[in-house]
Structure 1
Amino acid sequence: MRSELTAFGRRLLPRKASGVPDTALRKALRWAKTGVWVLVFVVTLQSVLLVAGAWRNDRQIEANLGVAQAEVLSAGPRRSTIEFVTPDRVTYRPELGVLYPSELATGMRIYVEYDTTDPDLVRVQDRNATLAIIPAGSIAVVGWLIGLAALAGLAALERRVNGAVRPSASGS
């Protein structure tokens, strides 16, 4: 079983087949496999950076913590805009909205935590980067599933192409 998995894994890699002439189609299949691998790693890197960025934002807010009551001006699943007043009576409407905006509704009054040195960096109170792990992980998992399916399809196509040439090459 392990040798079968190893053989299957090797077919997913962009490798030149030994004993088979290297045609334009085979080169294209290898480049396609390489492209799929690059995309899978980019999606994975993007997911890791999403969580790392959220964690960095949280550390920055916690290093210069300010707390204020805010009003939700517009709410959406990925972006909500708010307005809050700092203790020095300056009103802020963060251009990019509030971090971790799920379950907010327009008109709600909430407490937010913000970076006193950069009040545009603001999050809903008691929410943090752990909320980014599941969406980022889901993106990575779906990326890997789609990538592996594409690689399996390319490996099957490559096997078919390589198998079609071998009998005629051995018959010569």
Structure 2
Amino acid sequence: MSSRTARRAQVGAVAVAVGISVLAVLLVLAAWRNDRTIESDMGTATAEVLSAGSLRSAVSFVTPDGVTHNPKLGVLYPTNLTAGQRIDVEYSRADPDLVRVAGRDARVAIVPAGSVIVVTWLVALPVLLVLRRRARSDGSGSS
């Protein structure tokens, strides 16, 4: 491996790790922004869980004006829900499709995002060390 190729591989590995880390941080910031939007004009309701998954759960709830809402993107922070369950939700009255499980907020996104960042760097650092060793051994062998 030429030193130029090794350098490019190192830069690529760092770029991927930094990119994944930035995306994880952006995920938490987006959750925080959604929470601020909900809290700025909050409505509450009891919702029925239509389907439940670890990443997306569909809910249906009725707002005080009698309109039934079934947010396309599901409910925020859907862990530990089961289909048929009735839960309290908090939603943005300005945008009832923005809804979260009552009592949950962006703090529940911190641990998963932090875990993604830690695992990313636990993989990236050994890769960088291997690439660095290869670059050194190839550089010393070609002198």
TM-score (structure 1 length as normaliser): 0.81
Which of 132, 138, 143 pairs up with 2:120?
143
Once the two structures are aligned, what percentage of the paired residues are identical?
49
Partner of 2:4: 27
CA distance in 1, matches of 2:112, 2:128: 24
Offset of residue 58 of structure 1: 0.3
Cα-to-partner distance string for 1:17-63 (whole Å, 9 max, x where unaligned): xxxxxxx7211111111111111111111111011001000000000
Cα-to-partner distance string for 1:113-143 (whole Å, 9 max, x where unaligned): 0000000100000000000000000000111
Gaps of 5+ in 1: 1-23, 167-172
Which of 163, 167, 172 pairs up with 2:140?
163
CA distance in 1, matches of 2:58, 2:2: 51
**Secondary structure, aligned partner of 2:54:** coil
Partner of 2:129: 152
Moved over 3 A (4+): none
* Amino acid across the alignment from 1:38: A
CA distance in 1, matches of 2:139, 2:27: 41
**Secondary structure, aligned partner of 1:43:** helix
Gaps of 5+ in 2: none
Partner of 1:114: 91
CA distance in 1, matches of 2:5, 2:71: 48
Aligned residues: 143
RMSD of aligned C-alpha atoms?
A: 0.9
1:96-115 equivalences under 5 Å are: 96-115=73-92
CA distance in 2, matches of 1:153, 1:90: 59
CA distance in 1, matches of 2:91, 2:17: 35
- The structure whose RCO (Cα within 8 Å, separation 6+) is larger is 2
Offset of residue 84 of structure 1: 0.4
TM-score (structure 2 length as normaliser): 0.97
Cα-to-partner distance string for 1:136-159 (whole Å, 9 max, x where unaligned): 000001111111111011011111
Which of 23, 28, 38 pairs up with 1:51?
28
CA distance in 2, matches of 1:30, 1:164: 17
